[in-house]
Amino acid sequence: MYFKTLLKVSCFALFCFFVVPVMAQNSAVTGKVTDSKDGSPLTGVSIVAKGTAAGTVTDVNGAFRLSVPASATALIVTYIGYDRKEVAITGSTLNITLDPSSTSLSEVTVVSVGYGSQRKKDLTGAVENLSAKNFNQGAIINPVDQLAGKVAGLTITQPGGDPNQNASVRLRGQSSLSGGLSPLFVVDGIALDDPNQFQNIPPGDIASYDVLKDASASAIYGSRGANGVIIVTTKRGSAGRTTVSYDGLVGASNQSKYYDLLTGAQLRAYGATTTAGNLGSIDKGANTDWQKAITQTAYQQRHSVSISGGTNTFNYISSLSYQNQDGTVINTGKEQIGLRFNAEQKALNDKLDIHLGIQNVATNRKFIDYNNFSYVFNAPPTYPIRNADGSYNEFSDFNQENPVEHINSEFYRAKENLTLMNGSADYSILTELKIGALGSISRNDIETRGFQPTYADQGNRNRAGQANENKDSYKGNIHINYDKSFGKHKISLLGAYEYNDFRYDAFAARGAQYLVPAQLDNNLGAGVSTYNSIGSYREEYYLTSFFARAFYNYDDRFYVTGTIRRDKSTKFGSAYQVGYFPSFNVAYRMKKDLFANVDWISDIKIRAGYGVTGNEDAIGVYKTLETVAPGNNFYNGATGQYLSSYSVNQNANPLLRWEERHGKNIGLDFELFNGRLSGNMNYFNDETTHLLYDYTVPTPPFVYPTILANVGTLVNKGFELALSGQIVKGSKFNWNANGQITFIKTTITSLAGQYSFAGQTYQLNSDQIPVGYAQGRGLSSNPITFLKPGYSPDVFFLPHYTGVDASGNQTFDGKTIAQVASPPGHYIDPSPKFNYGITNSFDYGNWNLNFALRGVYGQKVFNNTLLDIETVTRLPGNNVTREALTNGIKDAPVASDKWLENASFLRMDNITLAYTFKNVSFASALRVYVSSNNLFVITKYRGLDPEIKTENSAGGNILFGNNLNGSNNTAFIDANYGGQAYYPRVRTFVLGLNISLK
Amino acid sequence: MKRKKIIIIAFTTLMVGSITESCNKLTLKPYSVEPVGNFYQTSDQIAAGIAPAYTALQNIPDGNVNQMNEITTDEIIVPTRGNDWYDGGQWQGLWLHSFKPDVFVDGGWADLNNGIGKVNFTLNILNSLPSKPSNIASINAELKVLRAYFIFQFMDMFGNIPLVTDYNTDPSKVTQKTRAEVYAFLESDLTTNVPLLSTTVDKTTYGRVTQYAGYMLLAKLYLNAQVYTGTPQWAKAIAAVNQVINSNKYALNGNYFDNFSLADRSSTESILAVPFDNVNIGGNNWEMQTLHYQSQLSFGLSGQPWNGFCSTADVLNKFTGADVRKNQFLVGQQYAADKVTPLKDTQTGLPLIFDPNITTLSSATDAFRLAGARNIKYTPQAGTSGNQSNDMVIFRLADAYLMLAEASLQNGDAATALTAVNKIRARAGATTWIPTDLTMASLLDERSRELMWEGWRRNDLIRFQVATGTHYFTGARTPAKGDDGDTHTFLFPIPSPELNSNKNLKQNPGY
């Protein structure tokens, strides 16, 4: 039996069900629950037929549908933060409004915990839930921006202003040195193949996020759970009238800050002080601000239309999104069109529940080569952009070209298609027993195209290329759920089998020296044939798993959850084909027993958990095999041909296995003052063992100097606190605030260990592994960040700057470079001491003012750009900052702690002022707003922005290997040289409209 | 009854999972890489499988090994020019002999062991094939002699090296051997295997190790025997080098520069060369390392060179009279490709005049950007920016003559030595020497003139210092270098990463 066949059969079956005639339900009540004040739909409202066991909760649109016994006469409606209401059953459709109350208990907020959901009050692990109401607002193009600063322990870093750059998402610190650091993203039950795919999903499609933070919660995801899991639920349709909504914004962005480079006049003034008395050939009479010359006011727009509706047994939602975001650097931008369709069909007396979801996002990207950023700092301001006749002023020196000409004449584009299809069917055999199956197909196709012209002054060959990458997966699971209550005992059991087939293939073709540059990459074969090159690659691996979860609840007071997952991956070495990932946690709600008479404590729960999760990301698919692959060419004298040599291409490690994160978490959830103040705190202590890294091995006898192996450990310890409060509550004025603060300390505890294979024992040691290098002229081979046991990852090791001597030579611990060629270094930890976020929301009548502040304290960033440009040794041929003229340094740049700057910051991430129109004839909801993102940032950091990449990634794009979206940047190093560059951050203002038509 | 049903359903669900898993043989399937056991089946695959041992040579003539053997001597200096070429002091450190285990030296170690490792791997795999190729004996001999070259350089540079000749060696049991032990191994390995190599010298053996390349290597080993073992082996060196010269398979090129031109594949002098090609085999970046940014316009390059490696006036002053070899250096005013338009340094506006008088190792003055004579013995290739197509020399006949001269002079046969040297001088257009011109010192200078920047200088200086006592290698030098004080700098330090990964290794004395 082949799984794909099964999948096809299930899909066919799914489609069949949609044509099953809708069965009449005699005793069904449907309706919608809304807030009596603003009419907004309420999600997760509990509805129980009085005197019976029949109950349900409302969906994200506030809709519900409940089969009630004929005996029932009323519904009991309860919801956190609202007064309990009893509604007489007067018809089959009931529209219910709830009044906000002073009491709020997490009654029935339903939180997804992976392969199922739980009531919020029943949670035993560190799980945080964020629904649409609490998302960040404003100019959101990338959905992860909805989460930034909102969840304790979750850090979202925008590494710059490039619309095509992915934000880094990290939960509870860095758990790996060579594997992925992003949490696993699970969208509607399907784990994404690549977490970055999530950043292409239109933000308006998302209904809620559930963040599984600790290992005991994420262990159900086994070898992919080590970085935590973010479960995304997209919007669903609901029974009732068809709803048409529009959500849109238009806005403009500008670069938020510029370096203080010399102007033409300032450079001329410098020239007058030199022995020559002028700039000589450097002065071409112009006054060009190269930083501004490559930037523009970038416009953006986002439109999304959704239609939803349904009957008692069928509902759907369909949305169409369009977003277009120009970059603030010319010739960059991103355009996306997304289409989503979700449908649910119930049948066979509601025993069968079928879901179908399909989403496609088509993205068009415009890139530039990041090398152009370094030209901006090198080009003298006395050079014009264009000559008098309108042609570009071409100039060429070491790393110095006309950036405007280059950016405008280069052509780098990508076309991406992301298609996610999933279907599921669940059947209730008995009230307490359900079985189901789920299948999904994910396809991500990326076509990259590029053309680089010839510049007369540079004498280079033009070149063009195209590349295609396909990342596909086929996944499915079958699962069985058993839920049962016996008096005060409740149990819930889950057992499942899951299958994943991951595929990747790529193809690229390149050529050079084209006679007709206007054809760009559209006639690749037309170049000079000796420069043609082609390549292709394919890989595939499988991950299959069994897993189970048992949940036990006694009297809503004592909780126990246990999970176990068995993962089998073909990536793992033969000795470790199978991994087991257990978790166990307990919780105790103490209110009833200990605080029954303490009025101001509404609810309080303590939790403790332990779990083991894995990270298999660092293991390349074929890393366990001794394989040969084409290497450098060799010359065959007999034939005069150049042929590919074939050689073993790695030190294979048949013992490779997943990294293991052993997580311990204790937590406290509380609600005080009738729910006016609620929050939670967590302390965690996680250890990652079997840490994967390319450890150095002795050559000889090894052919390659490193081997990927599971040695080493690192520890993450942290404390998180999240608070949410209704500070002022009145009839007209309300003030709500919430905030979170996270302290995390990551320490590498070991990079060495014994490693035995085939009767031989290898000692792997890595005392100090260089990872990040200073960039710049005369700064080659200059590692400045390291992996070092006892320190956090990417710890800096730098000489200590102690000023300049009388002749302007820098001193390090009192000595000049002439006195000590390589001055001694000192370790400095760049990682933040804590992160925090604060959101305030003020309501006055129909007005709402919402602002979100986000900050990082104790972070340090190496200002490599200033190291390179804040030095008079560059003058006059390359530009410098004004500070360079006065800082007294006269010798060549040396990487030292002078350039490792305090990068703590507090940012006004977003501020939004909104007005909601009430009682509009044509709309059930109408809201307009103005919003600004990154209005200001308070920091001492002297670079363009203190928020830069905090993780390492290597490798340029597939086409020419150059850096098109910051993928080459290294952690904590803010460089504009050697392929690394910082795309400046932007400040954005938008005007937006939300409307739901009646 | 109900419970039984539940159990049955649960069981069935899990069964479906198990069946799905067991019916699909979910094994790892390589598509674009091949498991080692499946390769080496056809003769072409075997040829491609032997090639990596040779492609390891592509890092030698213009890589870290060459730099460690040249920048540590008078021949190449890499001054720090303003911001450029400071690079953590690594280039200054080479010139000043302030070698450090964690600066620069691991590159040479890695490049040489890449070659040794690839040979060991290939020998192991080919000799364990179920049906071995019919010419396995000559393949083994060729690979072993090629490996001997890497080991020779490895031992010459680092002295006490881990000697590993079996791919399946337990890494935890790898320890260092003394130079004398490695010398004994190489002598035995070479004398056994060199006679098994091909004596064909034509395009079919171009770029491969022939019997003559083997004898050149053996001659190098004997020539340096005094350095390695304390006992000179001049007679053996003469015998080995005569195997090359007397084969009459090689002849000096009429033009010295034919050894390095873009057509140097047809050199009659080449005994072992590493093929390079602008499109197919990258790695020859000679023009980029030495030329000034604006030299791009002199040679029609497609990118700006890096303004790095150069030579001092002391080197230039070794050339006298009509010696054509002086033309391997660019000094004075530089011109555009039209040879008429004088060039300027665009940054400073200074006329582009290369000045070999280098009095300091580091300066931020404008003029210092133009310091040093630039070496263009490998003709720059128009339309390239690095990855030139000139093949690069490992062994050539001129070196054989000079080795014969040196060994003969040391062995008391000055007449043979003089004849041999004069062949080289005559070809260069230099005055013919009379017997009194020939001394150890003048012979060392002649080697420098002939083999300038070709990677032998450090080896030569140390050998002549050991033979004569003059501080050729460890002595003071302009600019900035003082006497090393002792001879620990004859060996590079064992690189830190190697000490770290193999705890059996001991650092060389003096570091």
Could you report the per-residue pLDDT of A576-609, keeping only the tens digit for each?
889 999 999 999 999 888 888 888 999 999 999 9
pLDDT confidence tier of residue A10, bands split at 50, 70 and 90: very low
State the Cα torsion B202-B208-B212-B216 to the nearest 10°.
Answer: 140
**Interface test with chain B among A270, A432, A636, by most B beta carbons within 10 Å:** A636
DSSP label of A960:
T
**Interface test with chain A among B25, B174, B298, B346, by most A beta carbons within 10 Å:** B346
Minimum distance, in Å, between the CA of residue A577 and any CA atom of chain B: 11
Of B27-31, B188-192, B414-418, B451-455, the poorest mean pLDDT is in: B27-31
Query: What is the spatial distance between Cα A989 and Cα A471, in angstroms, rounded to a whole number?
Result: 36
Tell me, letter by letter, the H, E, C secondary structure of A502-518: EEEEEEEEEEECCCCHH
Query: What is the spatial distance between Cα B90 and Cα B102, in angstroms, rounded to a whole number?
Result: 10
Q: In this structure, are residues B211 and B193 in contact, taking their beta carbons and an 8 Å threshold?
A: no
Among the partner-chain residues A495, A704, A761, the one whose CB lies closest to the CB of B13 is A495
More confident residue, B360 or B10: B360
Supply the pLDDT for residue A100. 67
* Gyration radius of chain A's alpha carbons: 30
Supply the pLDDT for residue A13. 38
Contact A643 B300 (CB under 8 A): no
Supply the pLDDT for residue A101. 57
Query: Distances in Å between the alpha carbon of B425 and those of B75, B319, B327, B401, B450?
Result: 19, 11, 15, 11, 9
Q: A479: which chain B residues are within 8 Å (Cβ-Cβ)?
A: 13
Q: In this structure, are residues A187 and A234 in contact, taking their beta carbons and an 8 Å threshold?
A: yes
Contact A1 B90 (CB under 8 A): no
Could you report the per-residue pLDDT of A899-950, keeping only the tens digit for each?
999 999 999 999 999 999 988 888 888 999 999 999 999 999 999 999 988 7
The pair of structure tokens assigned to A275 is 């022995």
Among the partner-chain residues A433, A642, A697, the one whose CB lies closest to the CB of B501 is A697
C-alpha closest to that of B380 among B286, B467, B449, B240 = B286
- List of residues 6+ apart from A249 with CB closer than 8 A: A139, A300, A301, A302, A931, A990, A991, A992, A993
- Average per-residue pLDDT in chain A? 88
Among the partner-chain residues A398, A479, A647, the one whose CB lies closest to the CB of B304 is A398
Contact B28 A763 (CB under 8 A): no
Q: Could you check whether the bond before residue A700 is cis, i.e. omega within 30 degrees of 0?
A: yes
Asked whether residue A103 carries a pLDDT value surpassing 60, the answer given is no
Average pLDDT over residues A630-634: 91
* Domains contained in chain B, CATH given: 39-193 (1.25.40.390), 198-256+266-272+391-469 (1.25.40.10), 276-388 (no CATH)
In B, minimum Cα distance to A572 occurs at B28
Supply the pLDDT for residue A476. 94
Q: In this structure, are residues B325 and B452 in contact, taking their beta carbons and an 8 Å threshold?
A: yes
pLDDT confidence tier of residue A21, bands split at 50, 70 and 90: very low
Among the partner-chain residues B45, B174, B302, the one whose CB lies closest to the CB of A701 is B174
Return the SS3 of A129.
strand
The strand pair at A847-857 and A900-902 is best described as unpaired
Average pLDDT over residues A791-800: 94
Query: What is the spatial distance between Cα A45 and Cα A56, in angstroms, rounded to a whole number?
Result: 8
Could you report the per-residue pLDDT of A685-722, keeping only the tens digit for each?
999 999 988 888 888 888 888 888 888 899 999 999 99
DSSP A42-96: -SS-EEEETTSS-EEE--TTSEEEEE--TT--EEEEE-TTB--EEEE--SSEEEE
DSSP label of A279:
-
B105-127 and B136-158 helices cross at what angle (nearest 10)? Answer: 160
* Domains contained in chain A, CATH given: 3-98 (2.60.40.1120), 243-619+656-794+830-859+903-997 (2.40.170.20), 620-652 (no CATH)
Contact A767 B500 (CB under 8 A): yes
Query: Distances in Å between the alpha carbon of A568 and those of A498, A720, B68?
Result: 10, 34, 49
Asked whether residue A649 carries a pLDDT value surpassing 90, the answer given is no
Contact B6 A430 (CB under 8 A): yes
Identify any residues that bridge with A762 across adjacent strands, giving them in sequence order: A755
b/e map A952-989, b = 16+ CB within 10 Å: bbeebbbbbebbbbbbbbbbbbbbbbbbbbbbbbbbbb
Average pLDDT over residues A509-523: 94
Q: In this structure, are residues B223 and B237 in contact, taking their beta carbons and an 8 Å threshold?
A: yes
C-alpha closest to that of A106 among A949, A679, A937 = A679
Q: A822: which chain B residues are within 8 Å (Cβ-Cβ)?
A: 88-89, 93, 100, 103
Main-chain phi, psi angles of B91, to 5 degrees = -75, -40
Could you report the per-residue pLDDT of A474-488, keeping only the tens digit for each?
999 999 999 999 999
Supply the pLDDT for residue B24. 54
Among the partner-chain residues A701, A703, A705, the one whose CB lies closest to the CB of B118 is A703
In B, minimum Cα distance to A889 occurs at B364
State the Cα torsion B7-B8-B14-B15 to the nearest 10°.
Answer: 150
C-alpha closest to that of A494 among A400, A561, A441 = A561
Asked whether residue A238 carries a pLDDT value surpassing 90, the answer given is no
Could you report the per-residue pLDDT of B261-292, keeping only the tens digit for each?
999 999 999 999 999 999 899 999 999 999 99
Supply the pLDDT for residue A922. 86
Query: What is the spatial distance between Cα A546 and Cα A570, in angstroms, rounded to a whole number?
Result: 15
Among the partner-chain residues B13, B19, B24, the one whose CB lies closest to the CB of A480 is B13
Query: What is the spatial distance between Cα B62 and Cα A970, in angstroms, rounded to a whole number?
Result: 29
Query: What is the spatial distance between Cα A915 and Cα A929, in angstroms, rounded to a whole number?
Result: 6
Query: What is the spatial distance between Cα A63 and Cα A41, in angstroms, rounded to a whole number?
Result: 8
Minimum distance, in Å, between the CA of residue A325 and any CA atom of chain B: 35
Query: What is the spatial distance between Cα A807 and Cα B40, in angstroms, rounded to a whole number?
Result: 65
Query: What is the spatial distance between Cα A736 and Cα A852, in angstroms, rounded to a whole number?
Result: 12
Q: A544: which chain B residues are within 8 Å (Cβ-Cβ)?
A: 21, 26
Supply the pLDDT for residue A860. 95
Among the partner-chain residues A634, A642, A778, the one whose CB lies closest to the CB of B86 is A778
More confident residue, A144 or A74: A144
C-alpha closest to that of A45 among A54, A60, A57 = A57
Share of chain A above pLDDT 70, in %: 95
Minimum distance, in Å, between the CA of residue A182 and any CA atom of chain B: 26
Supply the pLDDT for residue B27. 82
Q: B58: which chain A residues are within 8 Å (Cβ-Cβ)?
A: 632
Q: B182: which chain A residues are within 8 Å (Cβ-Cβ)?
A: none
CB pairs under 8 A between A and B: 310
C-alpha closest to that of A925 among A246, A91, A286 = A246
Contact B51 A646 (CB under 8 A): yes
Q: A495: which chain B residues are within 8 Å (Cβ-Cβ)?
A: 10, 13-14
The pair of structure tokens assigned to A348 is 């066979």
Average pLDDT over residues A672-686: 92
Among the partner-chain residues B33, B280, B385, the one whose CB lies closest to the CB of A629 is B33
- Average per-residue pLDDT in chain B? 91
Supply the pLDDT for residue B17. 58
Query: What is the spatial distance between Cα B489 and Cα B462, in angstroms, rounded to a whole number?
Result: 10
**Interface test with chain B among A395, A542, A634, by most B beta carbons within 10 Å:** A634
Main-chain phi, psi angles of A178, to 5 degrees = -130, -10
Supply the pLDDT for residue A22. 36
Q: Quick count: other Cβ atoms within 10 Å of Cβ A471?
A: 18
pLDDT confidence tier of residue A42, bands split at 50, 70 and 90: confident
User: B25: burial class by Cβ within 10 Å (0-12, 13-18, 19+)?
Assistant: exposed
In B, minimum Cα distance to A780 occurs at B87
**Interface test with chain B among A472, A645, A696, A768, by most B beta carbons within 10 Å:** A645
The pair of structure tokens assigned to A773 is 């290098």
B440-451 and B414-428 helices cross at what angle (nearest 10)? Answer: 30
Minimum distance, in Å, between the CA of residue B380 and any CA atom of chain A: 15
Asked whether residue A179 carries a pLDDT value surpassing 50, the answer given is yes
Contact B32 A536 (CB under 8 A): yes
Residue type, A713: T
In B, minimum Cα distance to A760 occurs at B170
Tell me, letter by letter, the H, E, C secondary structure of A641-701: EEEEEEEECCCCCCCCCCEEEEEEEEEEEEEEHHHCEEEEEEEEEEEEECCEEEEECCCCC
Q: A513: which chain B residues are within 8 Å (Cβ-Cβ)?
A: none
The pair of structure tokens assigned to A179 is 């594997």
